[in-house]
Amino acid sequence: MSKLVKAIIGLGFFILLAGITARLFLPSYIDKTTNKIWPHDPFVVPIDARTLHKDMLIMDWHADTFLWNRDPLKRHDFGHVDIPRLNDGNVAIQMFTTVTKSPEGQNYEENSADSDRITSLVIAQGWPIRTWTSLLERALYQATRLDTAINTSNGGLQWIRSKAELQEFLINRHRSTSQVKPIGALLGTEGGHPLEGDIKNIDKMYDAGFRMVGLTHFFDNELGGSLHGKNGNGLSNFGKEAIQHLDEREMIIDLAHASEAMARDVLSITKRPVVISHTGLKGYCDSPRNYPDDLMKEIAGRGGLIALGFWDGAVCDPSPQSIAAMIKYGIELVGSDHLALGSDWDGATESIAADDLHAITAELLALNVTSEDIRKVMGGNSIKFISQWLPEK
């Protein structure tokens, strides 16, 4: 065997070994270093707060958990969400959201759609080849991962795709005598780019279980302008058509990351109230990530829900005290009937994890927010909303 052949074989073996190593260890490393738990000493939560927290039905509107390859049914000490930690946090319903594209150098001011850092993550995690080039396939694959988790959870995780499934879930959870109660799962997409400019793909996503569609993420797309894009435009003609079709399919419209012009266009077209699945309040945290207070009032005035986030871009200081203070500010701004939780867990953020939610309840009580208003914000408003606006069956 010649030296050249030996060198080629050696190089091939090295490449194979490097690929296996990257496949085994790189995704977990990226997950651990990207989805950080906000550092804190153990929270001291008074008995009255623990009692109230345990007695509530809690819902969160935004977790990107299925972007990552970790098993959501097993407990982890990194990232923000898995089923055991949702149970520890007494989360009854979680909206899982699918991420399909994100630009290099992602920021809140201005991003181009010309690059994508999700592609390398998809390849490193060993996703099917069809997901390497198609944003629709990336969304559908994450839907399949959620469906698989539900089917293998022995009833611990249950689909909520309709009013009928919501009622079935609530009955099951109420009747459960176990310490570990079932958790309801909804599915949404972070941005409308998986539609790939084809209105028929709304139906494909609906059939896969999607019931909420975000319109943009960190870049402008076929539907219109992003809050962090290049042009700040409103809805395109395709975007207007998509809004009408989403209404027809009774799918929830999510304005998170949409430009202000797009948000106002949506409000002028849709016949249904909208959700902002993860955001902050600009009057409390003057971040370019947050809409001005007058637009928030308009959204609330149309019956919409404003789901408040837990990371610094939304709340400035991601402590439970600051999150609670922003919630109180929101109650004074738009009323307690229009606020909800939108953590942005597992969304490349640093925040408290799902099992630390009781700390927010404690801080709300410390701010003299009434238990009635706490119940609304923590989940009551959200469950009322989906009971009205999900499809019947």
Non-local CB neighbours of 167 within 8 Å, separated by 6+ positions: 387
Looking from the CA of 390 toward its CB, the CA atoms found within 13 Å total 24
**In this predicted structure, what is the pLDDT of residue 25?**
65
Non-local CB neighbours of 334 within 8 Å, separated by 6+ positions: 296, 297, 300, 306
pLDDT tens sequence across 206-265: 999 999 999 999 999 999 999 999 999 999 999 999 999 999 999 999 999 999 999 999
**In this predicted structure, what is the pLDDT of residue 19?**
46
DSSP code of residue 44: -
The answer to whether the CB of 348 falls within 8 A of the CB of 388 is: no
**In this predicted structure, what is the pLDDT of residue 20?**
46
Tell me the one-letter amino acid at 35: N
Residue by residue, pLDDT tens for the chain (393 residues) are 665 555 555 455 444 444 444 555 678 899 999 999 999 999 999 999 999 999 999 999 999 999 999 999 999 999 999 999 999 999 999 999 999 999 999 999 999 999 999 999 999 999 999 999 999 999 999 999 999 999 999 999 999 999 999 999 999 999 998 889 999 999 999 999 999 999 999 999 999 999 999 999 999 999 999 999 999 999 999 999 999 999 999 999 999 999 999 999 999 999 999 999 999 999 999 999 999 999 999 999 999 999 999 999 999 999 999 999 999 999 999 999 999 999 999 999 999 999 999 999 999 999 999 999 999 999 999 999 999 999 999
For 130, the token pair is: 């069809």
DSSP code of residue 330: H
pLDDT tens sequence across 170-219: 999 999 988 899 999 999 999 999 999 999 999 999 999 999 999 999 99
Q: What is the distance between the alpha carbons of residues 156 and 82, in angstroms, rounded to a whole number?
A: 12
**In this predicted structure, what is the pLDDT of residue 15?**
42
Phi, psi for residue 231 in degrees, rounded to 5: -115, -20
Q: What is the distance between the alpha carbons of residues 158 and 96, in angstroms, rounded to a whole number?
A: 12
Dihedral of the alpha carbons of 317, 318, 323, 326, in degrees to the nearest 10: 30
**In this predicted structure, what is the pLDDT of residue 24?**
55
The answer to whether the CB of 262 falls within 8 A of the CB of 224 is: yes
**In this predicted structure, what is the pLDDT of residue 3?**
58
Looking from the CA of 243 toward its CB, the CA atoms found within 13 Å total 26
CA angle 287, 191, 316 (to 5 degrees): 20
Q: In sequence order, what are the beta bridge partners of 235?
A: 224
Q: What is the distance between the alpha carbons of residues 110 and 289, in angstroms, rounded to a whole number?
A: 11
Q: Which of 144, 268, 245 is nearest to 198 (CA)?
A: 245
**In this predicted structure, what is the pLDDT of residue 13?**
46
Phi, psi for residue 129 in degrees, rounded to 5: -55, -35
> pTM of whole model > 0.85?
yes
